[in-house]
A and B are shown apart, each in its own frame.
Chain A
């Protein structure tokens, strides 16, 4: 995805000196300190970036248990996560060969989401945690990063990891979301526990019709909506991840302008 640029003799000498510095304990100590700062900066940037991006794109699908349907939520969330992960992964992989971005993004998102739900939703606005707990995508991040580490290929990791990332959103969260899909009855109407909570815990500006759930024609496939959505989400995951790896490669190539300025 990138082309090797010819380097000058001075640049080659500088690189050789850099390489030699790896055998110098003092230089290594300095590098480790700088690495610590880089981790802090990188993780802070990822945390803020993914929180803002996820809030703006997936938002309500992750805030409320009565939005996490079998049709749109498993499609929207991997889409929005993979575009962030893909763009970041390319640069980190090309320059550092570290397969950590997907896991870092999903883990940091999970931690910051818990903080936000506890402070903003539970403490400040009194929603019960059982109605607003976040979903988890950490397992999907690990699968994607491991696929990259094992295959050492961005394309292969897009095929395996990107596919699994999209396809396994629902099974990953089902372990703790299933109780909220148990049926109840209210005034002669069948509802799930999640629907009942959405009705009882009042959201003044989130009326029932605002939920984008169960809207599609996949029901014509004999009602097998969940597995079909998983397959479709997997295919989308492959495509989106590949596209945003390409976007990442484009962003990665912008450093040539920085070099010109310097």
Chain B
């Protein structure tokens, strides 16, 4: 008896310990902070789209408030050959957890982006997306480009807090149709949807009940058919069955046609679903005077740094200051050059992450420059997987400033070799 009691106490203790362990494990689990951007191949993030100047404003809103996401991106000329290109079909999207926001407007270079488009490589684009907060919560908002057959290319995220609205009223999304009706898309035409579904579910259940509520069902019918043989099996269907089936058939046809003509009468003006592609014109951007040639890089595994060596020539009339290197959405900033803004809520910024062997390039000067981009962000954003990529090359944007404080960018890319020691 004592042994049984002791065993019971042991079991109880084990259960309590298991419960405690489960609670501790749940407490240790953090929020889901990423949307898969770290899972993409390092080279893919470096050589596809260079997002920059991303800004999400404001960062604290209430349900119903407007949020604007703006920024720019450059389509890389170093686009991997094994990946379908953005110059075929692409769609500007926004990475939020489902419809927690409404997308009211989106544009690239001033062209509305309800539809897909294509972006030639090596060009810069300005985008803007206007959202309206719909569900309260804390969200990581990412601009996204969905590239056909290649998947989503994600910019870094920005945290956004959405609080409940003061009124506590249900969210309304009103829109006026071209036929002049103002509708709430949240609940639009649901009355008809519910009505017709109830009608059809009742019809379906009634039909099934007619056939299933009978004295002889599966086993007895099976026995009779086996005894009667195939030729006489149809005798199991009675005249009553024929009449009931005819009535169901007629009623069903009448409901389908009646519903169709009623809808045609009520909504005489309808159009097919709309689809197609739009063209986006290119924009003029100031072209700087820096020329970068013969770029190649090495990646130091131990130091978590990328070292770029290139010949840089200043063809302008004023000095040039190298301020920043951007790759895979990570900004490596040169602390020796006092330039470059970091906006509120911006992530993936290494403020002292860039070391340039030559900070200032004088007019007419042509120098070999060594840029060292190093930070723990390489590790944090899984860029250390660079050596596992099938095409070991890198690309990124070098940002530089002239005398007047005007910012320019130049894409740099080339082969990258790992340095193991």
Chain A interface residues (CB < 8 Å from chain B): 2, 4, 15-16, 18-19, 21-22, 28, 31-32, 34-35, 38-39, 66, 68-70, 94-100, 103-104, 106-107, 110-111, 114, 125-131, 133-134, 136, 138-139, 141-143, 145-147, 149-150, 152, 168, 171-172, 174-197, 199-205, 207-211, 213-214, 225
Contact = CB atoms under 8 A, between A and B. Distances in A.
A184 B177 contact: yes
B26 interface: no
B398 interface: no
Interface stretch (B178-186, B285-293, B304-312, B380-388): B178-186
B201 interface: yes
B201 A176 contact: no
Interface of B: 35, 89, 91, 93-105, 112, 114-116, 134-135, 144, 146, 148, 152, 173, 175-179, 181, 183, 185-190, 192-193, 195-197, 200-201, 203-205, 207-208, 211-212, 215-227, 229-230, 233-234, 236-237, 241-242, 245-246, 248-249, 252-253, 255-257, 259-260, 262-264, 266-267, 269-275, 277
Contacts of A21: 223
Contact of B114 (A103, A150, A186): A186
Given A179-B267, A182-B270, A197-B185, A139 B223 contact: no
A126 B196 contact: no
A179 B196 CA distance: 14
Contacts of A139: 200, 203, 252, 255-256
B116 A182 contact: no
| Most chain B CB atoms below 10 A, which of A143, A201, A213 | A201
A204 to B, nearest CB: 5
Nearest to B192: A176
Nearest to B265: A178
B247 to A, nearest CB: 9
B90 to A, nearest CB: 8
Contacts of A126: 98-100, 134-135
Contacts of B178: 182-185, 190
B204 A107 contact: yes
A99 B234 CA distance: 11
A147 B249 contact: yes
Given A34-B219, A126-B98, A129-B190, A190 B271 contact: yes
B210 to A, nearest CB: 9
A16 B256 CA distance: 46
8 contacts: A18-B226, A35-B218, A95-B225, A179-B189, A199-B103, A200-B173, A207-B91, A209-B116
Contacts of A16: 227
A187 B112 contact: yes
A206 to B, nearest CB: 8
A125 B99 contact: yes
Contacts of B221: 95-98
Contacts of A114: 197
A100 B91 contact: no
Contact of A107 (B201, B256, B260): B201
Given A193-B183, A214-B273, A178 B115 contact: no
B261 to A, nearest CB: 9
A192 B189 contact: no
A177 B272 CA distance: 12
A130 B249 contact: no
Contacts of A187: 105, 112, 114
Nearest to B202: A138
A172 B240 CA distance: 27
A191 B263 contact: no
Given A142-B252, A178-B263, A178-B264, A203 B98 contact: yes
A100 B208 contact: yes
B99 A171 contact: no
Contacts of B212: 39, 100
Given A97-B237, A143-B249, A183-B178, A136 B218 contact: no
Contacts of A28: 215, 220
A98 B211 contact: yes
A96 B273 contact: no
A199 B103 CA distance: 7
Contact of A99 (B144, B211, B223, B224): B211
B225 A96 contact: yes
A150 B260 contact: no
A127 B98 CA distance: 8
Contacts of B134: 126
A180 B273 CA distance: 9
B96 A128 contact: no
Given A126-B98, A174-B259, A196-B185, A184 B201 contact: no
Given A21-B223, A107-B204, A38 B196 contact: no
Given A110-B197, A126-B134, A143-B253, A195 B260 contact: no
A38 B271 CA distance: 47
B144 A204 contact: yes
A193 B177 contact: yes
A208 B114 contact: yes
B201 to A, nearest CB: 6
B179 A183 contact: yes
Contacts of B105: 187
Contacts of B241: 149
Contacts of A186: 112, 114
A2 B227 CA distance: 16
B196 A183 contact: no
B159 to A, nearest CB: 17
B189 A180 contact: yes
A183 B269 contact: yes
Nearest to B100: A126
